[in-house]
Structure 1
Amino acid sequence: MFENNLSRRGFVTGAAAVAGLAGLSALAPGLAAADPKINDQHRESEFAPGVGALAMMTFQNIDGTPVYYWRSNRGNTTARNWQATDAFYTALVAWIRDLRSLSSAYGSISYIVSAGFYVDKAGQHGAGTAMDLDHVRWSGGNTISPLDQAHASSTAATRKRYLATEAVCRRRFRYVLDGWYNADHADHIHSDFGGMPVRVLKDSESDTKFVQATCNNFRAAGLAIDGIWGPNTQNAFNGLKSALAVTGDPHTSSSVWQGMLSKIATKGFANQNI
């Protein structure tokens, strides 16, 4: 269902050597346990095409789904040229296919809104291997809007949908920074290639906060979302894993962690507790 060998359709230009998903850590090296403190507030002038270590490709949609920009004009549906590496675009296609499948009850994905992919600055954005997700709209009328700080919504169903969307991001991207991570990410979900492959690490602040928020919102665990993997978080995680009937070790196995994330996403999109 979540294939890695992906064909592309839509507006794509540029040429770059195609790198398999198995080699992503070589393309974007990063310490697995060292969460990046990323400044993700980008200026439009920083989106201008640049020349980096890897060739960039240009796209206006991801596997046929339009990608809009709302930071300067909310609701704008003008086509926009974005840039990323060829390998990162391949991962984006895998990501949006995951999202379509796991949220299929909502209908097709009408469009997504981003605050940036390649940006002319240091780090994963400057390498063309990062995405900032602002908003998703489905044909059935459902939306999720990190731009509107959906993680802090007073509505439990919205918070679950936010975490479901984040879980899908975590299936394909190692560093995913959300509204619980820090104030800079209160209005978008950042995803990048640093520290690949994907898995959940106890000494990662972003991973721990995601686990704590998930346990709180799906299981009323009452954890402090502090990024510290202590005994209470461990007990809550064990309960979450058991309730989802997950076998294997999500700390060392990408496939086990991806499977667990799919189950979290399924529950979140259905507004169900775990």
Structure 2
Amino acid sequence: MFENNVTRRGFVTGAAAVAGLAGLSTIAPGLAGAAPQTHDQHTEAEMATEAGALAMMTFQKIDGTPVYYWRSNRGNTTARNWQCTDAFYNALVAWIRDLRSLSSSYGSISYIVSAGFYVNKPGQHGAGTAMDLDHVRWSGGNTISPLDQAHASTNAAIRKRYLATEAVCRRRFRYVLDGWYNADHHDHIHSDFGGMPVRVLKDSESDTKFVQAVCNNFRGSGLVIDGIWGTNTQNAFNGLKSALGVTGDPHTSSSVWQSMCSKIATKGFANQNI
């Protein structure tokens, strides 16, 4: 199932580890519905600490695509060992295959850059079920760089590409926090397993801000990006959904929401309005 640069490492330290090793749970107990951590900048020391509570696997690539670390050395292409759970790695494989498919006009994905997966701290990172995405580079020369605050770029095409990349994340991960969400996420896109399954919820600040940003950047809706799903946001969302030809309820159906995210991503990577 996994490429040859991936290894598994089990750390049995109590009931949670036993459950993880037995395949009884893909998400750490108590984290399935947990809210994401709002501050998730990670130090080298945190990422170097051994994972202790769950069975973790170690990888340097996701489905063959290298994953680099630039926080201490911009442009570094030294192979790095990352850790996450088996289940989260499977989701990462599905995610990067989605990204390849939906951005195929850019060429293959040369590499991605991350600020962390498993990190020795509470929350989804500590459970090995989170990713912080800093940068993506395609073989055709295109890039998207949350690390450089691409969400706030003066170039509309770059903002659309950022939202397209985020939309692909939202196909596979429930909690996705971006540069509009808060200042702690101005330089990366955080994705994790909390609150699965995927869908868009009106009472989610993160989901609402994403919808508001999409409506503004693809349709010129002029919404205040405040995370409040009011009448204006509902009307803009209805227009977005109709323009994309989405049927069904993305608030309750994962497949409908995933389809909607795919259509947003396709438009974003093509630099097209909706």
TM (norm. structure 2) is: 0.92
Map of 1:165 onto structure 2: 165
1:113–1:136 CA contact under 8 A, matched in 2? yes
Could you report, residue by residue, the CA deviation over 1:64-105 in whole angstroms, capped at 9, with x for unpaired residues? Answer: 000000000000000000000010001000000000000000
Match runs of 1:231-246 below 5 Å: 231-246=231-246
Map of 1:48 onto structure 2: 48
CA apart distance, 1:120: 0.5
Instruction: Tell me the amino acid that sits aligned with residue 232 of structure 2.
Output: N
Is residue 81 from structure 1 mapped to residue 63 from structure 2 by the alignment?
Answer: no
Is residue 29 from structure 1 mapped to residue 28 from structure 2 by the alignment?
Answer: no
Name the SS for the 1:141 alignment partner: coil
Instruction: Tell me the amino acid that sits aligned with residue 243 of structure 2.
Output: A
Once residues 238 and 192 of structure 2 are traced to their aligned partners in structure 1, the CA distance between those partners, rounded to angstroms, is 27
Is residue 99 from structure 1 mapped to residue 99 from structure 2 by the alignment?
Answer: yes
Q: Find the partner of 1:11 among 5, 29, 37.
A: 5
TM (norm. structure 1) is: 0.92
Map of 2:195 onto structure 1: 195
Could you report, residue by residue, the CA deviation over 1:122-179 in whole angstroms, capped at 9, with x for unpaired residues? Answer: 0000000000000000000000000000000000000000000000000000000000
Once residues 66 and 161 of structure 1 are traced to their aligned partners in structure 2, the CA distance between those partners, rounded to angstroms, is 21
Could you report, residue by residue, the CA deviation over 1:176-214 in whole angstroms, capped at 9, with x for unpaired residues? Answer: 000000000000000000000000000000000000000
CA apart distance, 1:19: 5.4
Identify if the C-alpha distance between structure 1 residues 256 and 35 changes in structure 2 by more than 3 Å, giving closer, same or farther. same
Map of 2:260 onto structure 1: 260
Mean Cα deviation higher: 92-101 or 41-50: 41-50
Identify if the C-alpha distance between structure 1 residues 158 and 174 changes in structure 2 by more than 3 Å, giving closer, same or farther. same
Once residues 201 and 189 of structure 1 are traced to their aligned partners in structure 2, the CA distance between those partners, rounded to angstroms, is 19
1:24–1:196 CA contact under 8 A, matched in 2? no
Instruction: Tell me the amino acid that sits aligned with residue 166 of structure 1.
Output: E
Report sequence identity in percent.
82
Task: Give unpaired runs (5+ residues) of structure 2.
Answer: 11-20
Map of 1:271 onto structure 2: 271
Once residues 24 and 57 of structure 1 are traced to their aligned partners in structure 2, the CA distance between those partners, rounded to angstroms, is 13
Task: Give unpaired runs (5+ residues) of structure 1.
Answer: 1-6
CA apart distance, 1:14: 1.0
Once residues 132 and 126 of structure 2 are traced to their aligned partners in structure 1, the CA distance between those partners, rounded to angstroms, is 13
Once residues 116 and 74 of structure 2 are traced to their aligned partners in structure 1, the CA distance between those partners, rounded to angstroms, is 15
Instruction: Tell me the amino acid that sits aligned with residue 41 of structure 1.
Output: Q
Map of 1:4 onto structure 2: none
Once residues 169 and 140 of structure 1 are traced to their aligned partners in structure 2, the CA distance between those partners, rounded to angstroms, is 21
CA apart distance, 1:51: 3.4
Equivalences, count:
264
Name the SS for the 2:237 alignment partner: helix
Match runs of 1:210-225 below 5 Å: 210-225=210-225
1:117–1:132 CA contact under 8 A, matched in 2? yes
Instruction: Tell me the amino acid that sits aligned with residue 43 of structure 1.
Output: T
